[in-house]
Amino acid sequence: MDSERVGTAIIGGGIAGSAVAYYLAEQGESDILLLEADELGSGSTGGSFGGVRQQFSTPLEIEFSRRGLEFWRTAARVFDSAVSWHPNGYLFMTGRPDIMAKLADAAALQQSMGLTDVHVVDPAEIREVVAWIDTAGLLGGTYTPNDGKVTPTEGVAALIKAARAHGVRYHEHWQVRSLERAGSVWRITGPGVVEAGRVVVCTGYWTTDLMRSLGLELTIRPQPLYSAITGPALAGRRVPLTLDMDTGFVVEREGKGLLVAILFEENPPGYGHTQFLEQFAELARVRAPSLVDLRIARQVVANVDMGGDGHPYVGLVEDGLWMLAGFGGHGVMHGPPVAELLAKMIAGRPDPTIDLAPLSPWRRPGSGAEWMVAAKKS
C-alpha cells in the first residue's frame, strides 16, 4: 500500500476543508495535503442552496455572518476567480407572536453589532417586498435586502486555486477508512496510508462516525433536504430567499426559475419528493397562490449536516488533531471565515477579537443554542 508523510493533512474537500487549506498556507504553513473522498465540493457544499445571510441570533453566528458576507461579496476580486454574487436578500416571516418577538430580538442584536441593513417588517411592508406573497395570518418578519446567494462550488474552486498557488496538494477519490494515533504522527488509512504531524477534520456529517473511535461523541447527522427547481416564474419580480418560519415553506430565485423547498428540523417518517411536492402545493395555496401550478423542471435532494446546537464544532480534539464541522446547513456562509479563524489558531496567531473556545468539540451539548436554523419551528 502506497504511503506518504506530510506536515498537515486536511480531511474533507468541501468549502470548509478548502478554506482551511488556503488559510493555513496563507499563514505560512507548508507541506499541506487535502484528502477528499469523492470530488472537491461534491458533498453538502455542492448540494447547498448557497444562501448567505446576516440573520442569526447569537453574537458568534452574527459575527461569522458579517465575515462570511464580506468573503463572498469580495471573493471574485480577492481570488481573481469567477465567483458570482446575487444580492437577492432574505425575508423571514411568521404568524406566531413568540417567533415574531424572537425575530425582533435577533434583529436588535444584529443591529447592535453593526449590521444596520436589518429591517423588522409588518405585513404591509412584506407585500411591498414580495407582492406575490399572501400575508393573511402573518404578523410580520425580518428583511435583509442585501444578503444574497452564491454558487458554493465556485468558492471551492477559487480557494483550491489559491491554495495550490501556495503549494497545497490534494487527492480526490481518497476515502478515509481510519484515523489513529501512531506514535508522534497521525496515520490516515484509505486507498493508501498518509502519516501527518497534524490533521484537520472537515468532514461535515461524516464527522460523527470518524470521531467516535477517538472517544468524541457528536450529534452531527445527515438529513435529506428535498427541493425542486421550477421552470421560468415571477419574471421581473423581486425574489429574496423567502421563508415562512411557521411551516418551513421556502422560495428563492434560481436562474429564471425558482428553487422551492420545505425545511424541517427533522423529516417526517417516509418523507420523499412525492410528499414534498404535495405539501408544497398545499402551503402555496395559502402563502403564494400564483406558485401552485408551477412546472417542476428538476427534483433535487441533498444531505444537510444537522444536529448539535446550531454552532459548529471548532478547535482542538487532542494533540495534533483539529476539527471544523457541524455547521447545521450554514457551512457555505460561515465555513470560510471560521476556517480562517481556525487556521490562525493552529498557526499560533489567533485572532484577538474573537474567542472560539465556546465552540470546542468537547463542549457540553446545548451550551449555547442558535435557534435561527431556517427550519420549521416545532
Q: Are residues 113 and 258 in the same domain?
A: yes
Q: Are residues 284 and 338 in the same domain?
A: no
Q: Are residues 195 and 177 in the same domain?
A: yes
pLDDT of 25 over the 90 cut: yes
Q: Are residues 203 and 300 in the same domain?
A: no
Q: Are residues 234 and 268 in the same domain?
A: yes
CATH of the domain at 336: 3.50.50.60
273 contacts: CB under 8 Å, gap ≥ 6: 226, 228, 299, 301
In a domain, 57, yes or no: no
Helix orientation angle between 152-165 and 331-346, rounded to the nearest 10 degrees: 20
Q: Are residues 186 and 301 in the same domain?
A: no
In a domain, 61, yes or no: no
For the chain, how many structural domains are there in total? Answer: 2
Which residue range is the domain that position 236 belongs to? 90-145+221-305
Could you tell me how many residues make up the chain?
Answer: 378
Q: Are residues 201 and 240 in the same domain?
A: no
Which of 1-10, 100-109, 218-227: highest mean pLDDT? Answer: 100-109
pLDDT digits (tens, 9 = 90+) for 159-182: 999 999 999 999 999 999 999 999
pLDDT digits (tens, 9 = 90+) for 260-319: 999 988 899 999 999 999 999 999 999 999 999 999 999 999 998 888 888 999 999 999
Q: Are residues 193 and 241 in the same domain?
A: no
CATH of the domain at 233: 3.30.9.10
Q: Are residues 282 and 192 in the same domain?
A: no
| Averaged pLDDT of the chain | 95
pLDDT digits (tens, 9 = 90+) for 55-83: 999 999 999 999 999 999 999 999 999 99
Alpha-carbon gap, residue 375 to 200, rounded angstroms:
29
DSSP string, 14-39: SHHHHHHHHHHHHTT--SEEEE-SSS
In a domain, 162, yes or no: yes
In a domain, 292, yes or no: yes
Cross-strand bridge partners of residue 260: 228, 251
Alpha-carbon gap, residue 339 to 334, rounded angstroms:
8
C-alpha cell at 133: 406573497
In a domain, 368, yes or no: no
Q: Are residues 296 and 172 in the same domain?
A: no
Q: Are residues 351 and 255 in the same domain?
A: no
pTM over 0.85: yes
